[in-house]
Structure 1
Amino acid sequence: MLHILKTYFGYDTFRPLQQNIIQNILDKKDTLVLMPTGGGKSICYQLPALMMDGTTIVVSPLISLMKDQVESLRANGIAARAMNSTNDETENFNLRRECMQGKIKLLYISPERLLMEMNFLLKDIHISLVAIDEAHCISQWGHDFRPEYTQLKTIREQFPNVPIVALTATADKITRQDIIKQLSLRNPKIFISSFDRPNLSLEVKRGYQQKDKTRTILEFIARHKNECGIIYCMSRSKTENVAEMLRKHGIRVAVYHAGLSATARDEAQNDFINDRVQVVCATIAFGMGIDKSNVRWVIHYNLPKSIESFYQEIGRAGRDGMESDTLLFYSLSDLILLSKFATESNQQEINLEKLHRMQQYAEADICRRRILLNYFGETMDHDCGNCDVCRNPPERFDGTIIVQKALSAIARTNQQIGTHMLVDILKGAAGQELIEKGYDKLKTYAAGRDIPARDWQDYLLQMLNLGYFEIAYNENNHLKITESGHKVLFGKEPAMLVVIKREEFTPKERRRKKAQEPEALFSTPTTFGEENKDLFEELRLLRKRLADQQAIPAYIVLSDKTLHLIATQQPTSIEAFGEISGIGEYKKDKYGKEFVELIKKKIGK
């Protein structure tokens, strides 16, 4: 395993969980992998594909995603191909022949094409493994549900002895269970990597009008000179408007949305991938197929519709592990419009609940990273120090008794109530349903009458974000006490809550106060010891030239992280060049000579 990891991918060690996942796949067992964007999911099936006899079938939802993966694999000397609607018949004929001859180790295929080939090509080749990428698309609970994915269960029927690995970066507990059921996975081992991306700074700006947003974005981009990023907007017209504003300020920008022709979208994507533009203004249609490792920042011009969407979109920054910044603008008008969309959708209840959780994130006054991690079922026992709330911490108090009252009421109703009923019980309200169910007889009835209802809503929001209870939106949004909640309920741990401060300002006072707010600090780029900055720029130019010669993106030749390591370690032999993290045998042989010659020339050796 380690030999293949170094030879093909250029790494000396695995990231957490990767080795265990690969071993489970090699043992021919079904596997479900949850790993954040940039966490190293692909190696989990790419490496076993190289160790197993036959061809690994990778089901992927987007052509751009397949293209990117295949180019990256081939750049590492691995036989990978894609079968999708962009291929002509000659390409498909040659591809089928290579598959039958056992020459292809990884075949990327769209779900629609897979179903077409089920009784043809796939019956005639030796399949070692089936990998379902972006597996949340199969679940109606997932944030990116795709009907064509639901037919993938036929894989298990047609190839009962082939192990299946399902992979996703964003799936809550309910979506995970649905993926297992929909794909008929057999006793799958579930691997959940930490969803923490500590290299991403998190910041929210609330209530900004267009003029404020424009000023903030221009200042933000100025701080990120020559660093590329994505601005996500809710509507097509907004992407066009923001792009036009940036162009007027001399910023190289492309637009990407579903209203453009396929040619225009491809051009925008290619310009971004190949660093011909610094910024892409896009709707959520952009980015799923992008493996660009050196995106340094992501701005959300509008509130996203769910935490899953938000997390996946900010995850496109800093995939190389280097410091990257994210900024979210949040306004009431966004919330009203998104609520309208959710109400009119086929899954009104689910979509409204998911939007509500996104709203809670934007309005929170506790560590934002803890909220994100808690949403995906992961608890963190400390604040992150890399979000706007941590940089300007609010005042806290020991709220253990308040939390215990609320959790006790949830427990005494057998966890069969939502937040509205919980507040009614705590306040001692006399609603018809409350009386009919006998909740007025509970020991905790009216136990919180001294706290105003809107303060209870605030405290419950804090409790939810701290991970003391979760909302089961497949059970009428009933509240369920978590392990952390039980510790507080039974007095094993204290609960610190934020002091509620309600300042009522007139619009004029609010504007004046906002004008006096200091700009949030932004993270500084990661450095790797004593890096030769001039050498890094020269290396970047060489990488660009090599990439252009092969018509592939620069980051596929070598990542920014690897370039920084080269500029620091300054290898003067091909062997030393090959020892750098991210450079496998194939890249060492292919690029070593030119890079080493440049280094020697630059440092005078």
Structure 2
Amino acid sequence: MATSIDSTFSLIKNKFTIECLSENQKKSIQAVLDKKDVFICTKTGSGKSLSYESVPVIVSDPVCVLIIAPLNSIMDEQKKKLEGFGFRCAVIHSGQEDIDVKAVKFIFTSPEIAVGDTKLRKQFYTTEFKETLKLIVVDEAHTVLQWGESHEGNDPFREYFSRIGELRSVFLNVPVMALTATASPLKRKRIMKSLCLNDCVTILDSPDRTNIKISTAKISNISKAQDYFTPFLDDVETQKDSYPRTLIFLYID
């Protein structure tokens, strides 16, 4: 007999026309159902976004997800994808835009708008918005540090990335999900602190890419470079398009 969570996973697979969910996806979806903060640091292409895309499928109406992303291109791409599955979405590039929060399932915007725009903040404070918002997502969460903090005495590139955590004071009971493909243990800890993640579920995988290899060689004399590269070039000429994709960085001191 299928359990309740199995039925939930089946709903997601049917909606998004996928055959199976990874263990990390199941863990993150369970955390959403448990209303817990989640930090997901898994490699690009691992399906992190499904963790929030599935929310309208598994949470009863009214439901809306707020996604804070660093680039308009990311927002537009995700909006197009989700609309293809029948979800209504909004991309907010300016706080002057009014939001019918009950008419959309996903709202994409930048930290400058989500945190810094007065008009949008007023909408956030409405009872309707607070009752409808079920999850806040910070996509590309490494930018919280990379862009939100000062480096080597320079001003932050985009200061509002370091202020996303202020939204916790507005949406006290709304969990936050942070997504990234690149963050060391120390950086993960700092991002969690900045976003005010509490007792969060942390989902990690190895960043190792088994299909990528790195090799180095020191050539003591530039005149010997031909001896080193000739076998490689011969293989490329012989195998042509079947030769593995290769990048060569040559540093001459």
Normalised TM-score (structure 1) = 0.34
Q: What is the CA-CA distance between 1:152 and the residue it aligns to?
A: 0.6
Q: What is the CA-CA distance between 1:160 and the residue it aligns to?
A: 1.3
Cα distance in 1 for partners of 2:174, 2:224 equals 66
Change in 2 beyond 3 A, CA 1:13/1:147 = same
Q: What is the CA-CA distance between 1:202 and the residue it aligns to?
A: 4.0
Q: What is the CA-CA distance between 1:120 and the residue it aligns to?
A: 1.8
190, 211, 222: which is aligned to 1:507?
222
Cα distance in 2 for partners of 1:178, 1:118 equals 27
State the partner residue of 1:150.
Answer: 162
Q: What is the CA-CA distance between 1:83 and the residue it aligns to?
A: 0.8
Q: What is the CA-CA distance between 1:196 and the residue it aligns to?
A: 3.8
Cα distance in 1 for partners of 2:244, 2:84 equals 32
3-state DSSP class of the match of 1:156?
Answer: helix
128, 133, 138: which is aligned to 2:144?
138
Change in 2 beyond 3 A, CA 1:70/1:511 = same
Cα distance in 1 for partners of 2:40, 2:180 equals 6
Deviations 1:21-68 (A, max 9, x none): 111111111111011111101001111243224211111111010000
Cα distance in 1 for partners of 2:219, 2:209 equals 34
Q: Is 1:519 aligned with 2:240? A: no
State the partner residue of 1:81.
Answer: 90
Cα distance in 2 for partners of 1:145, 1:201 equals 32
- Point out the structure with max Rg over C-alpha: 1
Equivalent residue letter for 2:235 = E
Cα distance in 2 for partners of 1:81, 1:7 equals 24
Q: What is the CA-CA distance between 1:157 and the residue it aligns to?
A: 1.2
The alignment of Structure 1 onto Structure 2 pairs a total of residues equal to 218
Equivalent residue letter for 2:140 = E
3-state DSSP class of the match of 2:137?
Answer: strand
Cα distance in 2 for partners of 1:136, 1:12 equals 30
Deviations 1:110-136 (A, max 9, x none): 111112155322223121110111111
3-state DSSP class of the match of 2:179?
Answer: strand
Cα distance in 2 for partners of 1:22, 1:191 equals 11
Deviations 1:553-581 (A, max 9, x none): xxxxxxxxxxxxxxxxxxxxxxxxxxxxx
State the partner residue of 1:37.
Answer: 44
Change in 2 beyond 3 A, CA 1:511/1:197 = closer
Equivalent residue letter for 1:167 = L
Equivalent residue letter for 1:103 = A
Q: Is 1:113 aligned with 2:95? A: no
Q: Bigger CA drift: 113-122 or 7-16?
A: 113-122
Cα distance in 2 for partners of 1:146, 1:169 equals 20
Q: What is the CA-CA distance between 1:174 and the residue it aligns to?
A: 1.1
State the partner residue of 1:12.
Answer: 19
Equivalent residue letter for 1:522 = Y
167, 170, 179: which is aligned to 1:167?
179
Equivalent residue letter for 2:22 = R
Cα distance in 2 for partners of 1:26, 1:81 equals 24
Percent identity reads 27
State the partner residue of 1:122.
Answer: 124
Q: Bigger CA drift: 136-145 or 102-111?
A: 136-145
Cα RMSD after superposing both structures: 2.8
Cα distance in 1 for partners of 2:199, 2:182 equals 21
Q: What is the CA-CA distance between 1:145 and the residue it aligns to?
A: 7.0
174, 178, 185: which is aligned to 2:197?
185
Normalised TM-score (structure 2) = 0.76
Structure 2: which 5+ residue stretches go unaligned?
1-7, 237-241, 246-253
State the partner residue of 1:104.
Answer: 104
Runs in 1 of length 4+ with deviation above 6 angstroms? Answer: 141-145
State the partner residue of 1:552.
Answer: none
Cα distance in 2 for partners of 1:503, 1:512 equals 10
Change in 2 beyond 3 A, CA 1:155/1:49 = farther
Deviations 1:218-246 (A, max 9, x none): xxxxxxxxxxxxxxxxxxxxxxxxxxxxx
Question: Which fold has the larger relative contact order, with Cα–Cα distance below 8 Å and residues 6 or more apart in sequence?
Answer: 2
3-state DSSP class of the match of 1:194?
Answer: coil
Matched-pair contact (CA < 8 Å) for 2:139–2:180: yes
Matched-pair contact (CA < 8 Å) for 1:16–1:193: no
